[in-house]
Amino acid sequence: MYKNLIIVGGGFAGTKTAQLLEHTLPPDWTLMLISQENFITFNPLLPEVVGASIMPSHVIAPHRQMLHCSQVCMAQVSEIDTAERVVHYLGEGPGTLRYDQLVLACGTNANLDVVKGMAQVALPLKTLGDALFLRNRIIARLEQAELQPDPEHRRWLMSFIIVGGGFSGVETAGELVDFLYASLKYYKRIRREDLRITLLHSGDRLLQELSPSLGKFTLRKMMDRGVDVRLNARAVRVTDRDVHLESGELILGGTVVCTIGTQPNALLDSIPAMKSRGRLVVNPDMSVPGVEGVWAVGDCAAVINEADRKVCPPTAQFAEAQARQLAANIISHLATRPTRPFQFRPKGQLSSVGHNKAVAEVLGFKVSGFIAWLMWRGLYLLRIPTFARKTRLFLEWNWAMFFPPDISHLGYRRTQRRSTLSQTVPDTRAPSGQGARS
C-alpha cells in the first residue's frame, strides 16, 4: 500500500520542495501538492505588472508544468487533523486526504489592519489579482483626471501614496512613476506637475536590508525621478481622501498602495505547536516539535539559520534554500538516517528602482545603476521555469524598453444574459398585424 506525502502551499518553498522530492522519494510513496492557485507567483515581478512592463501571465507558472511525477490539487485546505493525520479541503466540494508525512508551506497573508482605515481604503500588492486591480485603478485615475475640469481635483486624482519603503514599495514606486510619465503623451489635459507620487517609510533609510550607501543611491534616484520620499514618516490613519502621519501632517491622495503588514495563515491555528509571531517554531531540521510527521518551511515557519543563529527572513531566496535542505531531511528521515539543521549564507539582494536602474549587493559587492538592473533582470529570467516562458519574458522586457506601455483598462465586463424566465418561456404572441395560425 502506498504512503502519502502532502505539501500544503504552492509558493517558492512548497513548489521547490515538491520538485526535489518527486524524483527522490521511495517507490512506495506518492507526492501531492495542494495549492489554492494552480500556479506559482513570482511576487518580485508584480510591480512590473502594475507598471505594464510585462504581461500578467509572465509572472506566474502553472504547477503542472513544473511538476511531472506528482499530483497537483487546486483546493483550499480548511483544517488539518494532526491526531488522525487527515487534511480537510474545499474544492468542488469538501473532501479529506490522509497523509503519512505533511509539509506546511502555506506562507503568510497580507495584514491591512496595521494602520487604521487601511483595510477599507488601501490597495495591497500581494497577489496577481492585486497587481491587476492596481493597474486598472491607475489607468482609471488617468481617464478620470483627463475629464476633470477642476485642477485641484485633477491633482488629487493623480496623487498616489505608497506606504512602505522596502523592496516591494521601492519597486512599485519606480514602476509607477515610469508608467505615469510614459502615459502622459496620451492624456493631453494632464500635466506633469499634476502627478504626485509619495513614498512613505517609517525607517530612516530605504531598503534597510541593503547597505546604507545603496539606500542613499535609491533615495537619490527616486527623488531625481520626482518621487516625494518621506523617511521617518509613520502612517497612523488612512481615509478615502488622505493619509494621516504620526507627525500630524496630512498627505492628500486618490490612491493608497500598501506594501507593509503580514499575518500568519489561519490554517496554522489547527496545528498544536508553539508559534512565534504567528510562525510555527520548528526544530533545526524544520520538523515541527511534538507533532509527528509534520514539517514546516518558508514564510510560515520560524526557521533558525545555523550560519548566524537568527530567524530566516521571509524571502524567496531563503524559502528555496530551506526547501533544498528540507527535501534532503525528509529523505534521510524516511531512510532512518540523521537529519541536518538548516544552514545558509545568502548570496545577496537586488531591487529595481525604476528607469532601468537597480541596486544590488551580491557576494559582498555593491552595484548600482544600469549594470545592477541587468543583473536583477538576469536573475529572475533564470528563475522563470521552462524555456518558452523565459523566451516570452525576455522578448516582453526588450519590447517594453523601446515602445510605450499598454494603457488598456483590462475590464472583465461580461455579456448580459437574459433572465431565466425569458430563456425558458417561449413568446407565443403573433407579430403585429397578423393572426395566430391554428
Tell whether the model's pLDDT for residue 230 goes beyond 90.
Answer: yes
Residue 391 cell numbers, joined:
523566451
Find all residues with CB under 8 Å of 13, minimum gap 6, and list them. Answer: 105, 107, 297, 298, 299, 319, 320, 322, 323
Would you call 35 helix, strand, or coil by DSSP?
A: strand
Query: Which carries the bigger pLDDT value, residue 291 or residue 412?
Result: 291
Q: Do 162 and 199 meet the contact criterion of CB atoms below 8 Å apart?
A: yes
> Residues 103-116: pLDDT tens digits?
999 999 889 999 99
Tell whether the model's pLDDT for residue 434 goes beyond 70.
Answer: no
> Residues 144-195: pLDDT tens digits?
999 999 999 999 999 999 999 999 999 999 999 999 999 999 999 999 999 9
Tell whether the model's pLDDT for residue 430 goes beyond 50.
Answer: no
Stretch 135-152: mean pLDDT: 96
Tell whether the model's pLDDT for residue 432 goes beyond 70.
Answer: no
Q: Which CATH number does 3-36+75-110+262-334 carry? A: 3.50.50.60
How many Cβ atoms sit within 10 Å of the Cβ of residue 422? 10
Whether 3-36+75-110+262-334 and 112-260 share one fold: the answer is yes
> Residues 18-31: pLDDT tens digits?
999 999 999 999 99
Q: Where residue 412 falls among pLDDT bands split at 50, 70, 90?
A: confident
Give the CA count within 13 Å in the CB-facing half-sphere of 346: 20
Query: Which carries the bigger pLDDT value, residue 231 or residue 261?
Result: 231
Tell whether the model's pLDDT for residue 428 goes beyond 50.
Answer: no
Pick from 100, 122, 97, 96: which is nearest to 111 by CA? Answer: 122
Q: Can you tell me the distance from the alpha carbon of 324 to that of 329, in angstroms, rounded to the nearest whole number? A: 9
Tell whether the model's pLDDT for residue 399 goes beyond 70.
Answer: yes
Query: Which carries the bigger pLDDT value, residue 133 or residue 389?
Result: 133
Predicted confidence at residue 433, as pLDDT, reads 40
Q: What does R_g of the chain's alpha carbons equal in angstroms? A: 25
- Tell me the CATH class for 112-260: alpha beta
> Residues 242-271: pLDDT tens digits?
999 999 999 999 999 999 988 889 999 999
- Burial call 266-304: b when 16+ CB within 10 Å, e when fewer: ebbeebebeeeebbbbbbbbbbbeebeebbbbbbbbbbb
Q: Do 206 and 222 meet the contact criterion of CB atoms below 8 Å apart?
A: yes
Pick from 190, 221, 195, 192: which is nearest to 206 by CA? Answer: 221
Would you call 417 helix, strand, or coil by DSSP?
A: coil
- Spell out the domain ranges in the chain: 3-36+75-110+262-334, 112-260
How many Cβ atoms sit within 10 Å of the Cβ of residue 127? 15
